Amino acid sequence: MKTFKINLFLFIFLVFSISTFNEVEQTGFRLLASDSTSYTCPELVRFLVQEKLSLEERRELLRGPKVLKFLENVDLEFKETFKDSNNTPYVTRYIYGDDPVMSKNEYYLEFENSIMKTMNDKFFLDKNISFSINKYFRTLLWNNIQKAVSENQMGANNYLKLVDTYLDWKSLRLVVNTTDDKIMHQIINYAYQVTIKDFKAKMIALDFHKLAKGFGEGLDDPAFWFLSGMGTSPWKAYLSARRARKIFKKQSFNLPSIVRYSDAGEGYEETVEFITKEVSNIDKLQTDVGNYPHLVEKGIIKPYKSTDRFVFSVETMDIFRKAQGKFDDINAGMTHLFQYQLTDEEYKILMRYFEKIDFFAPPVFVEKQIDDWHFENIKDVGVVSFDFRRIGASVLVDLQNDFIRLVLDASDKTGEELSEEMLALIKERGLNASKMVDELNRAFSENQKEIFGSGKMGVEEVISSGDEGIFYPRVALTHVKQEEFVSMLAQQKPGKYRLVFLPPTFVSGARIPDNLVASLISDGESLEKEIRKKVMGFTKEKIHPKKFNQITIAVRINPAKTADGPFTTTYDLLLHGSKNVLTQNEIELITKAYQQIIARDLLKKGARQGKIIILNAHNTLYFQHLSHPLASLQAA
């Protein structure tokens, strides 16, 4: 009877909603219908209950002719708009150089894709499409800013001048010189809001907002995908843009605006008060989490030195970063790693703690601009994809420890002094993270030259967006060369790299289509991540994180296409443990996880088991797992 009542209530609610759907604009309850989007009755039901599109529905939408035309035009317009752009002056002067003597007339603006990770992992499942969305927004924004500046002259004694720009995979940063920051803010904020309106209209015309259904509150409104901040330093602008995420998170009835953080005046006191309050909240949470004994016993949190504060382990931080707030995903990680399920209360306090630490996560600056991955250049050589493991989690672990030291030294400091120290801390961690990424990129680049030869390799030597990238070899890589490369990286930076090797063609010799490259690479990356999730843990049945985080795993993809259309893919694992020799039991554990993940996640895409190859000099061992038919394996 209870179920009947709930279903009856839902039915009445939907009937009422449908009957009044055309009146939503007048009532102030602004659904996407107010943006001239039409829905059939089933689509409306899906909209109201926030049902996600299926994987096939997503692929069909993204392969549509209007989407393909949009992606083609975006690339051309972006390249023309930013053909003279160069990050080097910005990075050299404002980031890595000594603090310049700033005139009171210099201001910094940051426009960022505030949902980039969700967009990559959930909406589009293709980083190239996310790149295109970023290109479109930034091209619109730049053109609107130029137009607004030219049409709003500030008088003979005032001026507004764009000094420098910075572009990376998710942000546009500007340096502006002006005699009147309030008028400047009004002019650029107007351009920003015009851009948002145009951008939102385009995303809805392409049905991209439908891809966001069911992934979180407010994500289906493209007006809030790109947020902005302004300040008297790059770090203040960055922090203001991060603060915009909180200010506009639930205000889905208004357009966002540029959040200000000046040295004085509008936006300053509010920001100082906000930072002071957040530091205090973090300090309290670092004490309160210690009241949950199971979290301490399991190693989910640990005491910080001789204080009464508690902090996340790097493993816990990594779980929370990847799960993006999803309770089930967090508990799945906890079960695999700690053999423990969080209670609702434990989840809530840990989530509050993580969100407040993550808010202050510093930016990583890259000198080289990245437009896209240029998958069309796979041609006859194939592609190597790489990313750096756990950079974000490591930075956040250091930051949470910094907070404790900051608070313990801050007893007699004013809010302004505490805020300035907080900004200095973010800058220091941001510079350290940027240097760490630079070092890993440098090591990767030098190793690929040593193994594959020096000189240009395709269109770019190494295309890196910071902590991830690709390169196109000069010639297709043999399996031996791939294995030499993995071994060299593993010996120098054990466990730091995640690698995927993709050939240029199917086994038959037919070329792999550009639009299939990203999804195959994504499947390879997911396989590596899921294997780590399954086999790593603190019990004797698992491989201890201290050991397994020193193991480098590469995935070699071997796609095969049959004559009548369907294709199958085998995935080889290349493992190298540097000085950490895998035992027979550990190899069997990895093998079982590998088989289960293929069966659970990739069998429906035509995947088949390949080889597991152990590359350590001390226990070179080749396995070919063909004894268990995949169809008989049970998904774990």
**Mean pLDDT score, 190-217:** 92
Question: pLDDT tens for residues 447-483?
Answer: 777 777 654 444 446 777 778 888 888 788 889 989 9
- Shared domain check, 338 and 189: no
Residue ending a domain, among 213, 235, 261, is: 261
- Model confidence band, residue 208 (pLDDT cutoffs 50, 70, 90): very high
45 part of a folded domain = no
Least confident of 46-50, 101-105, 127-131: 46-50
Residues 521 and 598 in one domain: yes
Total domains in the chain come to 3
pLDDT, tens digit, 9 for 90 and up, residues 89-128: 888 888 876 555 455 688 999 999 999 888 887 788 777 7
Q: Are 250 and 327 contained in the same domain?
A: no
Token code pair at residue 607: 């995947």
Q: Per-residue confidence at 153, pLDDT binned at 50, 70, 90?
A: low
CA atoms of 272 and 278, how far apart (whole Å) = 10
Q: Is residue 25 part of a domain?
A: no
| Residue 526: inside a domain | yes
Express each pLDDT in 313-367 by its tens digit.
999 999 999 888 889 999 999 999 999 999 999 999 999 999 999 999 998 888 7
Q: What DSSP state is assigned to residue 505?
A: B
Mean pLDDT score, 10-22: 42
- For residues 550 and 586, membership in a common domain is answered with yes
Percent of the chain with pLDDT over 70: 81
Mean pLDDT of the chain: 81
Task: Verify that 437 and 408 share a domain, yes or no.
Answer: no
Assess if residue 634 is contained within a domain. no
pLDDT number for residue 104: 66
- Residue that is last in its domain, among 199, 227, 261: 261
How far apart CA 393 and CA 337 sit, in angstroms, is 16
Residue 267: predicted pLDDT: 65
Give residue 213's pLDDT.
84
Residues 456, 565 share a domain: yes
The answer to whether residue 15 is domain-embedded is no
Q: Is residue 318 part of a domain?
A: yes
Side chain identity, residue 3: T
Q: What confidence tier does 266 reach under pLDDT thresholds 50, 70, 90?
A: low
pLDDT single digits (tens) 155-186: 666 778 888 999 988 899 999 988 888 888 99
**For the chain, what's the residue count?**
636
CA-based nearest residue to 227, from 278, 310, 171:
171
Q: What is the CATH number of the domain that holds 204?
A: 3.30.70
**Domain-located, residue 132:** yes
Domain shared by 296 and 433, yes or no:
no
Residue 612: per-residue pLDDT: 92
Domain housing 468: 378-389+420-623
Predicted pLDDT of residue 91: 86
pLDDT of residue 179: 86
- Tell me the β-bridge partners of 470: 385, 463
Q: What is the mean pLDDT of residues 27-33?
A: 29
Nearest to 290 by CA among 423, 376, 404: 404
Residue 635 included in any domain: no
Same domain, 78 and 101: yes
**Looking at the structure, do residues 229 and 343 belong to the same domain, yes or no?**
no
Pair (171, 317) in one structural domain: no
Cα–Cα distance for residue pair 592/252, rounded to 1 Å: 46
3-class DSSP state of 126:
coil
444 and 585 both lie in a single domain: yes
pLDDT per position as a tens digit, 402-445: 999 988 887 778 888 888 888 888 889 988 888 888 888 888 88
Residue 59: its pLDDT value, please? 79
Residues 231 and 282 in one domain: no
- pTM across the whole model: 0.80
Among the candidates 212, 235, 261, a domain finishes at 261
